[in-house]
Chain A
Amino acid sequence: MAGFKGNNLLLYMATSGTATPAAEDYVKVAALRGTSYTINKSTIDANNKDSGAWNVLVEGGGLKTFSITADGVWLGNNQASGHHGRLMRAAGFNVNQGALVNDTVTTHWNFQIVDEAGFTLTGRFNVDSFSRTGELNGLDTWTITLTSSGTVTWAEPVAP
């Protein structure tokens, strides 16, 4: 095995802001360039005068937070799921353009990371930041940063 391609680490988003979308209700975000995730797990220091000169941390302590960053090419205001108009909605713009599905406006939104083997990481996220940039003689691009709220689930591919 020569490794997975970076092009196959993908960000998916739920088709609506509902808290419990079904597995099939995730759609790939269009025109991605970079995708990455980080899980941070904090520690609880348990050093004491009996622990000698070695650092000691509480077993099973600490807090887990899952962050996702992604960027890509802006393709338009389309509000269908996976299109960038829907990312604007997840970011907190209350918009009502075109043939928009009138879903519940929530502050959190379900997102999912899928890798080349089909494994998924799924959770509910706050859109910490969404940016769009137009550079001189460059492309109109966007970036998004997400932080999890609650459990993030790591799952094997669902058999077809």
Chain B
Amino acid sequence: MAGFSGNKMLLQLPATHDATTYVTVAALRNTSWNINKTSIDATTKDGNGWSEFVEGGGLKTVNFTADGVWTSNTVGLVDGPDADTTANDRMGHGTLQSAAFTSANHYNARIIMGDGGDASSLTGRFHVDSLTRTGELNGLDTFSVTMTSSGTVTWAAT
């Protein structure tokens, strides 16, 4: 087993915040996620000098981060690499912009990863912590987005 290509890890969004048809964000470069689990300190004088934490305590939070090339202001679907195939449609970057601009709601989001029998996804409801867009001198117009989960995040086979 030689591992999987990082190109298979993709951030997906629905066209509206509460829809559940997830489409890959256009022109991604890097995608990653992490889960953080906090601890509740339970150290006492009986612990013999070792720190101790409550079993079953703490809080889980998932973060999504992704970056890529800014290719469109469209909110909703744009043509993907194969313009003739709707299956290859991508989510336009206007969707990210509107998810970042709204003060009304969080956004459903998903990361898909792996391949074949080892394909899986993480799905949940996310707050857009930040959306950055950068235009460098003689460089590309790029974006990066970071999101934090609200509520349960589900890991499932896709």
Q: Which residues of A contact B (CB under 8 A)?
A: 19, 31, 60, 62-65, 73-78, 88, 91-93, 95, 97, 106-108, 126-141, 147-152
Taking the closest CB of chain B, its distance from the CB of A121, in whole angstroms, is 13
Cross-chain contact A129 with B55 (CB below 8 angstroms): no
Q: What is the chain B residue whose CB lies nearest that of A135?
A: B6
Number of interface residues of B (CB under 8 A): 44
Cross-chain contact A107 with B55 (CB below 8 angstroms): yes
CB distance from B4 to the nearest CB of A (A): 4
B113 x A132 contact (CB < 8 A): yes
Question: Does B51 lie within 8 Å of A136, measured CB to CB?
Answer: no
Check A137–B37 contact: CB distance below 8 A: no
Point out the residues of chain A lying under 8 angstroms from B3, CB to CB: 31, 73-75, 139-140
Q: Which listed residue (B6, B53, B156) contacts A136, Cβ 8 A? A: B6
> Cβ of B32 < 8 Å from any Cβ of A?
yes
Q: A136 to chain B: which residues have CB within 8 Å?
A: 6-7, 28-30
Residues of A close to B1: CB separation below 8 A: 31, 75-76
Q: A92-B35, A149-B39 are in contact. Are A63 and B51 (CB under 8 A)?
A: yes
Residues in B40-62 with C-beta less than 8 Å from chain A: 42-43, 47-53, 55-58, 60
Whether A74 lies near B55 (C-beta < 8 A) is no
Q: Say whether B52 contacts A150, CB under 8 Å.
A: yes
Given A132-B32, A137-B7: 15 more A-B contacts, CB < 8 Å: A62-B49, A64-B50, A74-B4, A75-B1, A78-B118, A107-B58, A126-B39, A132-B113, A133-B31, A135-B29, A138-B6, A139-B4, A140-B6, A149-B39, A151-B50
Q: Are A140 and B4 in contact (CB under 8 A)?
A: yes
- Do A97 and B33 form a contact, CB below 8 Å, given A140-B4, A148-B51? no
B157, CB-defined interface residue at 8 Å: yes
B8 at the interface (CB under 8 A from A): yes
The interface residues of chain B lying within 8 Å CB-to-CB of A77 are 114, 117-118, 120, 157
Q: Evaluate whether A92 and B5 lie within 8 angstroms (CB atoms) in the complex, with A63-B49, A77-B120, A107-B57 already known.
A: no
